């Protein structure tokens, strides 16, 4: 196990380095920040001066060398747009996103597993049909619909909840609910599919034949064996939120990393893009490692 | 890193358990802006989102321009006079303090100007208003400043209405806490969440009514409108026309933006006057009003709004006349103008609300009279390569959809850039027009206005410079408990001192 | 994909098509789903040929006309968009681009992702490490950045949108396929095949893939909706489909500012996306049961006896 984690850490570090190099050079092929940052009326001198101040005139290799040297002392450079250390900007947003992802995925996981297994227990039954129908609609509806309609209904008409922003626990209700819908639909379907397979397998049938009560069958035998694809998809959806729940963040004014990442990419704020990618990559690598460990835990036949 | 994370997390937890923030302070207002302020440096205040927070609230200027009367009023300067061509002497107000306690004096003005044009820091005010000529400020005594320009700038005092004054000690890098002489100071700034301004007790002028202003940020227009409706915010300076549904709280105001299609006068077929006229006649401008454009939008005959010096009210927009347009095209074709060449309409995504729809509608109108047009919506970075000089040699026929903002009352901020042969975004190449612009730029008073009027008339009638479309309007939603009416200035500033309570 | 897993039961020698239709008829939901998809495919194939003109004819004075107005042409049954163009016709015409992009992106991401996942799960060792870390890298590479890079290095085109969307969706198939393989490879019948000397390829494709496929199909059908909606956020960058052209995703996002005033602008194309996704999913659920000899009784029960 220790050896596995050690090897994994090395491999991940190499991937991270590769990722940073790739992003560093590729992003610099996508146009000049001076064009995007300065007003369109800006003169050529102003553009030239802007590039000089931000060190964008040097050859790419020199810029890269400087970046690596700074990185060695944990200096991620400054944000061009905000004129603050890029890492501060990113971590502030990431803390919010991490919370949002954790809260949402916890709820999603719980709800999807319970409802999905129950649906799988009587395939084609009323409960199964209803659960499938609504989860699919949720999973394929445009997220801004849900967000705007939720605001209009619950904040403007009913006045139960604040429209947007942060501050109290009530402010979290709408963003989390909207964010909940898509992963819930997807994971519920995966749980259901997986459980149908498991429940019709020989050993569950045997257990049923022996007269084991229904619920234990589902939750003990079924879940354990059907969980592998489920936690994989949970990981994928969590990664989606970690990379930024853009629509929810912009509509609800949630200061997460998603909007930050988009703005930084669109305005070529390279240092912030790099810092954001490093932070979210680290989180995603770690999450995938945990998922791989969970495989072994759930299914003792799997060894690394 | 982990420390910061835990720190932020515990803050968040604390916030979670806090109480709802519905309650409103008597003299406090909440203003919901469309985007977060990334920088909050006074020398960037010409950016509208920064200006709305800073201008005349925290940072003040020597003079202020009042669009309704087109007059320049004294602020931090009590008076000014031209001592010789291009040299002005400003007498400063005394007894004024910055919010950090230091006294305001001539040295601060000198430093503010030097900082704005310094090459150590990318100041937008410097590039926008003080580019293209030499300017220097010298402190004569503590309350007198001499400012000289070369070539002479006849509107130098107007230029000074853009220069935000910062203390002498301000470093040559962006500051995170702006310091100014205004009635408010910034007391809190939580990135991603809000900015708080509070009234200063030692302000030199009349004390404003609003004691505290909180700025928050929501990028979705319907959310901003909803926040004012339910009382979570008091003013949403910019909402979309579609969300302006309540006559009691929603106000339209001219936002000093003008939209137009820039034509290329150096490439066939738009180098032919008849083709340009046909393009203008093909557009049914009236059909846009009240449909894709707000009811309050005005057909444009110049790239600057009607409140600008030298605006010629006698010019008539080109009438919708598709038959005449077809005739002109046929004539041009007979003379060998390649009118069938494909003309690309270059649009910028997000230039104004529903821009893509407006361009699609225009495209259909051009096609209807026989033009061969295609539409490309580009992201800003790529769009700029079409919009700005130097243009590509082999660019081919194209029209660029553009929008221009000039709330300063003088066409000098527009004409050279938009119509000079070397102008950064100009598609025109006429030496005689260059001369007219240069002459008007150097003139003063009534003569100046007359010369500008000639320039604009020539562009509209003689050269048919572009396909001018509309002077745009913006919409604000204001809580009924406030006494505040948005004006043309609301696009660039939002003076808290003008807000009253009912 | 139907062909890849064998229809088991050698005794059954009735006409294949009749059997399939028979099974489909038993599941009324799946039957409706199949019909709806046929309609969509029909629209995609011939819609643009027949209705291109009607879909672009503007009428500014009749903009945002509400739906269900019986006094007007059938084309305006769903109402009109912001330029007064008939929404129903536009949805029909847009089906082509939408389906092309969605099917292309989902197909390539599923194909590439699943193949890599199968390889990573089966091979283990260094090769598997490389594939998985590649997956990690793609997972943490923001799709928007990828789109901007593609935009600047290549010309915008439908094909390039497919590339961008396909690449970003690879990891979920990769990781899911691999997770399943890790478990399935330990099962008895795989071990048995191994002992009997079956080749790697044969084991993976004959024995492992059929077990893994249903989960991948479930993900793929739901990814259809995701891809259709994500595509419109790329047109925001000027990559690929742009305003004169249409897709359902683009129609949905163009209708966004009108959501509170003229809901139908984004509702109908959104509904088209939902119904397509729903149909695909119902059909794939049916297929998984119809193809699985252990499960098929669910469909056959209550009907005539087949054996």
Interface size between A and B, measured as CB pairs under 8 A: 150
Phi-psi region of A165 (alpha: psi -120 to 50; beta: other; left: phi over 0): left
Q: Where are the alpha helices (H) located in C57-86, listed in sequence order?
A: none
Gyration radius (Cα) of chain B, Å:
24
Residue-wise pLDDT for B404-453, tens only, equals 988 888 888 888 888 988 888 888 889 999 999 989 988 888 888 999 99
Q: Are the beta carbons of C238 and B364 separated by less than 8 Å? A: no
- In angstroms, the first-to-last Cα distance of chain B is 49
Residue (of C161, C158, C211) closest to C188 by Cα position: C211
**What range does the domain containing C237 cover?**
28-74+84-296
Mean pLDDT value across residues B94-111: 91
Find the angle CA(C144)-CA(C150)-CA(C156) to the nearest 5 degrees. 105
Residue with token string 């400063």: B92
**What CA–CA distance (Å, rounded) separates C113 from C96?**
25
Tell me if B499 sits within 8 A of B197, measured CB to CB.
no
**What CA–CA distance (Å, rounded) separates C180 from C174?**
10
Q: What is the pLDDT of residue A203?
A: 66
How many angstroms separate the CA of residue A145 from the nearest CA in chain C? 8
How many angstroms separate the CA of residue C95 from the nearest CA in chain B? 20
Residue (of A29, A75, A33, A70) closest to A52 by Cα position: A33
Tell me if B356 sits within 8 A of B401, measured CB to CB.
no
List the chains bordering chain C where 3 or more Cβ pairs fall under 8 Å: A, B
**What CA–CA distance (Å, rounded) separates B29 from B309?**
35
Tell me what the pLDDT averaged over chain B comes to: 87
Is residue B375 less than 8 Å (CB to CB) from chain C? yes
Q: Give the side-chain half-sphere CA count within 13 A for B494.
A: 28
Residue C200 within a domain: yes
Q: Residue B19: which of A95, A168, A259 has the nearest Cβ?
A: A168
Q: Are the beta carbons of A235 and C260 separated by less than 8 Å? A: no
Tell me what the pLDDT averaged over chain C comes to: 79
Q: Residue B380: which of A36, A41, A42 has the nearest Cβ?
A: A36
**What CA–CA distance (Å, rounded) separates C31 from C38?**
11
The pTM for the full model equals 0.84
Q: Are the beta carbons of B380 and A259 separated by less than 8 Å? A: no
Residue (of A276, A296, A113, A293) closest to A194 by Cα position: A113
How many angstroms separate the CA of residue C202 from the nearest CA in chain A? 22
Which positions in chain A touch B243 (Cβ < 8 Å)?
Answer: none
**What CA–CA distance (Å, rounded) separates A57 from A50?**
9
Most confident of B83-87, C79-83, C156-160: B83-87
Which positions in chain C touch B380 (Cβ < 8 Å)?
Answer: none
The CATH H-level superfamily of B63-162 is Dipeptide-binding Protein; Domain 1 (3.90.76.10)
**What CA–CA distance (Å, rounded) separates C228 from C161?**
11
Q: What is the pLDDT of residue C114?
A: 92
The complex's ipTM?
0.83
Q: Which residues have a Cβ under 8 Å from the Cβ of B371 and sit 6 or more positions away?
A: B278, B279, B282, B329, B339, B343
Q: Are the beta carbons of B377 and C243 separated by less than 8 Å? A: yes
Residue (of A200, A283, A303) closest to A240 by Cα position: A283
Q: What is the pLDDT of residue B20?
A: 38
Q: Are the beta carbons of B425 and A40 separated by less than 8 Å? A: yes
Q: Kindly state the percentage of chain C with pLDDT values over 70.
A: 87
Q: Where are the alpha helices (H) located in B289-425, listed in sequence order?
A: 322-334, 355-368, 380-387, 412-419
Q: What is the pLDDT of residue B13?
A: 45
**What CA–CA distance (Å, rounded) separates B383 from A103?**
41
Q: Which two tokens stand for residue A167?
A: 């501050």
Q: What kind and span of H or E run contains B468? A: strand B466-478
Residue C1 within a domain: no
Which positions in chain C touch B291 (Cβ < 8 Å)?
Answer: 60-61, 63
Collapse the DSSP code of B281 into the 3-class scheme (helix H, G, I; strand E, B; otherwise coil) and give the result. Answer: helix
Phi, psi of B185 (to 5 degrees): -130, 155
Which positions in chain A touch B415 (Cβ < 8 Å)?
Answer: none
Question: What does pLDDT average to in each consecutive run of 10 residues of chain A (304 residues)?
Answer: 82 89 86 74 74 82 88 85 85 89 92 87 82 85 84 87 84 90 88 79 68 63 76 87 81 85 83 90 89 82 69
Burial class (CB in 10 A: 0-12, 13-18, 19+), C115: middle
Q: Are the beta carbons of A99 and B122 separated by less than 8 Å? A: no
Q: CB neighbours (10 Å) of residue B59?
A: 27
Residue C116 within a domain: yes
Residue C263 within a domain: yes
> Total domain count for chain C?
1
Q: What is the pLDDT of residue A46?
A: 75
- In angstroms, the first-to-last Cα distance of chain A is 8
Mean pLDDT value across residues C55-67: 76
Residue-wise pLDDT for C284-296, tens only, equals 878 777 777 666 6
B90 - beta bridge partners? B80, B145
**What CA–CA distance (Å, rounded) separates B76 from B157?**
12
Q: What is the pLDDT of residue B421?
A: 87
Q: How confident is the model at residue B1 (pLDDT cuts 50, 70, 90)?
A: very low
Residue (of B76, B78, B66) closest to B183 by Cα position: B76
Which positions in chain A touch B226 (Cβ < 8 Å)?
Answer: 151-152, 155-156, 163
Residue (of C228, C129, C110, C124) closest to C176 by Cα position: C110
Q: CB neighbours (10 Å) of residue A189?
A: 27
Mean pLDDT value across residues B372-382: 84
**How far is C-alpha B347 from the geometric centre of its chain's CA atoms?**
19
Q: Give the side-chain half-sphere CA count within 13 A for B65.
A: 24
Q: Which residues have a Cβ under 8 Å from the Cβ of B169 and sit 6 or more positions away?
A: B102
CATH 3.90.76.10 maps onto chain B at: 63-162
CATH number of the CATH domain containing C196? 1.10.3720.10
List the chains bordering chain B where 3 or more Cβ pairs fall under 8 Å: A, C
Tell me if B280 sits within 8 A of B422, measured CB to CB.
no
Is residue B354 less than 8 Å (CB to CB) from chain C? yes
Phi, psi of B66 (to 5 degrees): -105, 105
β-pairing, B212-217 vs B184-190, is: unpaired
CATH class of the domain defined by B255-473: alpha beta
Minimum CA–CA partner of A165 in chain B: B193
A223 - beta bridge partners? none
Q: Residue B361: which of C60, C151, C254 has the nearest Cβ?
A: C60
Q: Which two tokens stand for residue B485?
A: 């009416």
CA distances from B385 to B303, B346, B405 (A): 21, 11, 20
Find the angle CA(C222)-CA(C225)-CA(C229) to the nearest 5 degrees. 145
Which site among C31, C40, C145, C231 would you substitute to test the A interface, given the most A Cβ atoms closer than 10 Å to its Cβ? C145
Collapse the DSSP code of B249 into the 3-class scheme (helix H, G, I; strand E, B; otherwise coil) and give the result. Answer: coil
Collapse the DSSP code of B30 into the 3-class scheme (helix H, G, I; strand E, B; otherwise coil) and give the result. Answer: strand
Q: To the nearest 5 percent, what fractions of chain B are helix, strand and coil?
A: 30, 25, 45
Is residue C148 less than 8 Å (CB to CB) from chain B? yes
Q: How confident is the model at residue B398 (pLDDT cuts 50, 70, 90)?
A: very high
Q: What is the pLDDT of residue C189?
A: 79
Residue with token string 């197909």: C107
Q: Residue C82: which of B357, B359, B379 has the nearest Cβ?
A: B357
Q: What kind and span of H or E run contains B161? A: none
Residue (of A267, A295, A265, A294) closest to A280 by Cα position: A265
Residue with token string 């400054």: A78
Task: Indicate if the pLDDT at residue B188 is higher than 70.
Answer: yes
The CATH H-level superfamily of B7-34+183-249+479-501 is Periplasmic binding protein-like II (3.40.190.10)
Residue (of A69, A19, A76) closest to A269 by Cα position: A76
Which positions in chain A touch B119 (Cβ < 8 Å)?
Answer: 49, 52-53
Minimum CA–CA partner of B413 in chain A: A41
Residue C145 within a domain: yes
Between 1.10.10.60, 1.20.1560.10, 1.10.3720.10, 3.20.10.10, what CATH number should domain A86-303 receive? 1.10.3720.10
Residue (of B282, B425, B270, B259) closest to B358 by Cα position: B259
Tell me if A230 sits within 8 A of A183, measured CB to CB.
no
Which positions in chain B touch C151 (Cβ < 8 Å)?
Answer: 379, 382
The one-character DSSP state at A189 is: H
Q: Which of A153-157, A245-249, B231-235, C129-133 has the lowest mean pLDDT?
A: A245-249
Mean pLDDT value across residues C268-292: 83
Phi-psi region of A119 (alpha: psi -120 to 50; beta: other; left: phi over 0): alpha
Which positions in chain A touch C140 (Cβ < 8 Å)?
Answer: 19, 239, 243, 277, 280-281, 284-285
**What CA–CA distance (Å, rounded) separates C216 from A220?**
24
Residue with token string 């027009």: B433
Is residue C157 less than 8 Å (CB to CB) from chain B? no
Minimum CA–CA partner of A42 in chain B: B127
Q: What kind and span of H or E run contains A42? A: none
Residue-wise pLDDT for B285-334, tens only, equals 998 998 888 888 999 999 998 888 889 999 999 999 999 999 999 999 99
């Amino acid at each position: 196990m220790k050896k596995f984690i050690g090897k994994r850490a090395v491999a991940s570090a190499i991937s991270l380095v590769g990722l940073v190099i790739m992003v560093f050079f590729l992003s610099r092929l996508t146009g000049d920040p001076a064009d995007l940052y300065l007003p369109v009326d800006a003169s050529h001198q102003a553009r030239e001066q802007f590039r000089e101040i931000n060190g964008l005139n040097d050859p790419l290799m020199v810029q890269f060398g400087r970046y690596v040297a700074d990185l060695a002392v944990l200096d991620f450079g400054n944000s061009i747009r905000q004129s603050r250390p890029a890492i501060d900007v990113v971590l502030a947003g990431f803390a919010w996103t991490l919370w949002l992802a954790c809260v949402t995925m916890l709820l999603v996981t719980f709800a999807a597993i319970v409802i999905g297994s129950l649906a799988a227990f009587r395939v084609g039954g009323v409960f199964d049909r209803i659960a499938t129908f609504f989860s699919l609609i949720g999973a394929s509806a445009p997220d801004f619909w849900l967000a705007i309609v939720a605001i209009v209904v619950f904040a403007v008409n009913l006045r139960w909840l604040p429209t947007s922003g942060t501050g109290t626990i009530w402010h979290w209700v709408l963003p989390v609910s909207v964010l909940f819908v898509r992963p819930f639909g997807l994971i519920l379907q995966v749980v259901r599919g997986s459980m149908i397979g498991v429940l019709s397998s020989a050993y569950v049938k045997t257990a049923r034949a022996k007269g084991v009560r229904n619920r234990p069958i589902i939750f003990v035998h079924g879940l354990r064996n059907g969980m592998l694809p489920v936690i994989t998809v949970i990981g994928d959806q969590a990664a989606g939120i970690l990379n930024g729940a853009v629509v929810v963040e912009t509509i609800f004014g949630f200061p997460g990393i998603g909007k930050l990442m988009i703005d930084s990419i669109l305005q070529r704020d390279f240092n912030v893009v790099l810092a954001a990618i490093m932070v979210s990559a680290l989180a995603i690598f770690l999450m995938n490692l945990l998922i791989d460990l969970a495989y072994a835990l759930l299914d003792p036949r799997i060894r690394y | 890193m982990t420390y910061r994370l835990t720190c932020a997390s515990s803050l968040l937890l604390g916030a979670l358990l806090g109480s709802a923030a519905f309650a409103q302070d008597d003299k406090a207002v909440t203003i919901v802006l469309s985007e977060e302020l990334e920088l909050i440096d006074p020398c960037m205040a010409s950016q509208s989102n920064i200006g709305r927070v800073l201008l005349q609230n925290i940072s003040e200027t020597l003079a202020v321009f009042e669009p309704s009367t087109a007059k320049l009023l004294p602020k931090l300067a009590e008076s000014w006079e031209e001592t010789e061509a291009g040299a002005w002497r400003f007498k400063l107000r005394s007894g004024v303090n910055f919010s950090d306690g230091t006294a305001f004096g001539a040295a601060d003005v000198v430093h503010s100007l030097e900082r704005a044009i310094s090459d150590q820091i990318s100041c937008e005010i410097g590039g926008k208003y003080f580019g293209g000529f030499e300017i220097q400020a010298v402190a004569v005594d503590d309350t007198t400043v001499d400012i000289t320009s070369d070539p002479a700038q006849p509107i130098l005092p107007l230029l000074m209405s853009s220069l935000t004054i910062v203390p002498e000690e301000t470093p040559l890098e962006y500051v995170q806490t702006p310091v100014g002489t205004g009635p408010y100071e910034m007391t809190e700034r939580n990135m991603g969440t809000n900015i708080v301004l509070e009234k200063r007790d030692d302000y030199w002028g009349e004390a404003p009514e609003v004691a505290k202003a909180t700025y928050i940020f929501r990028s979705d227009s319907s959310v901003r409108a909803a926040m004012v409706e339910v009382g979570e915010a008091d003013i949403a300076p910019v909402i979309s026309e579609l969300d302006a549904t309540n006559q009691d709280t929603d106000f339209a105001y001219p936002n000093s933006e003008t939209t137009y299609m820039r034509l290329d006068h150096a490439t066939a077929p738009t180098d032919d006057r008849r083709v340009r006229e046909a393009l203008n006649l093909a557009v049914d401008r009236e059909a846009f009003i009240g449909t894709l454009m707000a009811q309050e939008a005005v057909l444009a005959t110049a790239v600057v709004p009607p409140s600008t010096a030298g605006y010629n009210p006698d010019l008539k927009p080109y009438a919708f006349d598709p038959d005449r347009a077809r005739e002109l095209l046929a004539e041009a074709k007979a003379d060998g103008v390649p009118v069938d060449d494909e003309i690309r309409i270059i649009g910028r995504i997000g230039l104004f609300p529903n821009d893509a729809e407006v361009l699609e509608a225009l495209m259909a109108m051009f096609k209807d009279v026989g033009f061969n047009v295609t539409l490309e919506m580009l992201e800003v970075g790529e769009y700029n390569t079409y919009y700005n000089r130097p243009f590509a040699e082999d660019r081919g026929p194209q029209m660029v959809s553009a929008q221009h903002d000039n709330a300063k009352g003088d066409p000098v901020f527009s004409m050279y850039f938009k119509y000079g042969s070397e102008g950064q975004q100009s598609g025109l190449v006429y030496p005689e027009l260059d001369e007219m612009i240069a002459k008007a730029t150097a003139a003063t008073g009534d003569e100046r206005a007359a010369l500008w009027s000639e320039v604009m008339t020539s562009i509209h009638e003689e050269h048919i410079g572009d396909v001018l479309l509309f002077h745009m309007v913006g919409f604000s939603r204001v809580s009924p408990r406030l006494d505040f009416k948005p004006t043309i200035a609301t696009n660039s500033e939002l003076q808290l001192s003008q807000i009253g309570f009912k | 994909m139907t062909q890849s897993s064998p229809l088991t039961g050698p005794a059954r020698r009735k006409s294949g098509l009749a059997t399939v239709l028979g099974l489909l008829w038993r599941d009324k939901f799946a039957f409706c789903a199949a019909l709806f998809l046929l309609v969509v495919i029909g629209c995609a194939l011939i819609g643009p040929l027949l209705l291109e003109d009607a879909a672009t004819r503007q009428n500014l004075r009749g903009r945002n006309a509400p739906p269900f107005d019986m006094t007007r042409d059938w084309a305006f049954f769903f109402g009109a968009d912001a330029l007064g163009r008939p929404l129903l016709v536009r949805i029909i015409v847009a089906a082509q681009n939408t389906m092309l992009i969605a099917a292309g992106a989902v197909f390539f991401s599923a194909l590439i992702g699943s193949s890599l996942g199968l390889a990573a799960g089966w091979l283990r060792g260094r090769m598997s490490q490389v594939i998985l870390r590649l997956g990690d890298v793609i997972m943490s590479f923001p799709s928007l950045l990828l789109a901007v890079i593609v935009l600047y290095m290549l010309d915008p085109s439908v094909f390039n949108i497919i590339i961008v969307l396909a690449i970003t969706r690879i990891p979920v198939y990769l990781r899911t396929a691999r997770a399943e393989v890790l478990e399935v490879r330990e099962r008895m019948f795989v071990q048995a095949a191994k002992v009997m000397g079956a080749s790697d390829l044969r084991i993976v494709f004959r024995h492992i893939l059929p077990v893994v496929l249903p989960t991948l199909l479930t993900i793929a059908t739901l990814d259809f909706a995701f891809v259709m909606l994500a595509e419109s956020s790329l047109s925001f960058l000027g990559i690929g489909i742009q305003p004169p052209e249409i897709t359902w995703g683009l129609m949905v996002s163009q209708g966004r500012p009108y959501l509170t005033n003229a809901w139908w602008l984004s509702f109908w194309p959104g509904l088209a996306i939902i119904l397509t996704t729903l149909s695909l999913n119902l059909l794939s659920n049916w297929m998984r049961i119809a193809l699985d000899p252990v499960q098929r009784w669910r469909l056959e029960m209550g009907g005539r006896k087949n054996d």
